[in-house]
Amino acid sequence: MPLFFQVLASGSRGNAILVCSPRTRILVDAGLSAKELVRRMDRTPVCARQLDALLVSHEHRDHVNGAGVLSRRFHLPVYLTPGTFDHLPSQVGLPAQTELFEPGAPFSIGDLRICSFTIPHDAHEPVGFVIEHESTRLGVCTDLGVATQLVKTRLRGCHGLIVEANHDLERLLNGPYPWHLKQRIRSRHGHLSNADTCELLESLHHSEMQCVVFAHLSETNNHPDLVIESATRLFRSPEWDGVQIKVGKQDDITCGTELS
């Protein structure tokens, strides 16, 4: 099992991704209740008490909801940026152990190498990640308003990618959200549309890419069928043959992926 990952939840009601090497097991974000995270992990190859650490992308509730309880219950260090730590919602409480990192400064958790990078989003110090085990790379990038040059550069060469496909633009514009919220979602610090994500993926394609997971779909402004429809147009090109496509779910775990 060189590098394994499994999306436990994805969307505005909670996000969490299990990432494992043969020696190290972490959760990227813990945005469900601790109880629900434990329950979902019971259906994966790793149970919660086997975790080594939590890695947090930013302080929004859908990414940190269960982080405090999980950390205290299983004595887990929580890795996060100073800006994220300073703005954790009070209900999360203090982690059992806090490990601060600066965006862009690489560090290791066991035999996983973590490279973070700044993403444009309406949080205090939000980051995306590339998680490496030996020469295998998994990119995780949800909650960003625009795919900046930095994002594109950092995600280059990943074998697996978990990227946001938040909304279908037409659905968002014609949907029930108030105008200011639509503007926020579309802004530089909001969320990527299906078209934005496909454009990003097009720029990231390389011959060793193995799997793409579309994540953080809006339940109001998107639908898995719309994501697949956008992706199918892109993936029609033969260079994408053999790349697995998955869509992260809100209410259920997604089947796991082994990258080699």
CB 32 within 8 A of CB 65: yes
Which residue, 96 or 146, has its beta carbon nearer to Zn ion?
146
CB distance 58 to 140 below 8 Å: no
In the complex, the smallest distance separating the C-beta of residue 23 from Zn ion, rounded to whole angstroms, is: 29
Instruction: CB nearer to Zn ion: give 60 or 137.
Output: 60
**Between residue 218 and residue 257, which ones bind Zn ion under the rule CB under 5 A?**
none
One character per residue 77-106, x = contact with Zn ion (rule: CB under 5 A): ------------------------------
The least CB distance from residue 242 to Zn ion, in Å, is: 30
- Nearest distance, CB of residue 243 and Zn ion, angstroms: 25
Q: Which residue number, 132 or 143, has a Cβ lying nearer to Zn ion?
A: 143
- Taking the complex as a whole, the smallest distance from the CB of residue 122 to Zn ion amounts, in Å, to 7
In the bound complex, what is the minimum distance in angstroms from residue 241's beta carbon to Zn ion?
Answer: 32
CB of 62 or CB of 125, closer to Zn ion: 62
Number of residues counted as binding Zn ion (CB under 5 A): 3
Nearer to Zn ion, 63 or 159 (CB): 63
Interatomic CA distance for residues 206 and 19, integer angstroms: 22
Q: How far is the CB of 97 from Zn ion (least distance, A)?
A: 24
When asked if residue 29 is in the footprint of Zn ion (CB under 5 A), the reply is no
Q: 39 or 189, CB closer to Zn ion?
A: 189
For the chain, the three-class secondary structure string (H helix, E strand, C coil) is: CCEEEEEEECCCCCCEEEEECCCCEEEECCCCCHHHHHHHHCCCCCCHHHCCEEECCCCCHHHHCCHHHHHHHHCCEEEECHHHHHCCCHHHCCCCEEEECCCCCCEEECCEEEEEEECCCCCCCCEEEEEEECCEEEEEECCCCCCCHHHHHHHCCCCEEEEECCECHHHHHHCCCCHHHHHHHHCCCCCCEHHHHHHHHHHHCCCCCCEEEEECCCCCCCCHHHHHHHHHHHHCCHHHCCCEEEECCCCCCCCCEEEC
73/189 with CB nearer Zn ion: 189
Residue 257 CB, nearest approach to Zn ion (Å):
21
Site residues (CB under 5 A) for Zn ion, limited to 52-71: 60, 62
The two tokens of residue 90 are 């009070």
Instruction: Kindly identify the residues of this chain, within the stretch 115-154, that bind Zn ion according to CB under 5 A.
Output: 143
Q: Name the residues that contact Zn ion, by CB under 5 A.
A: 60, 62, 143
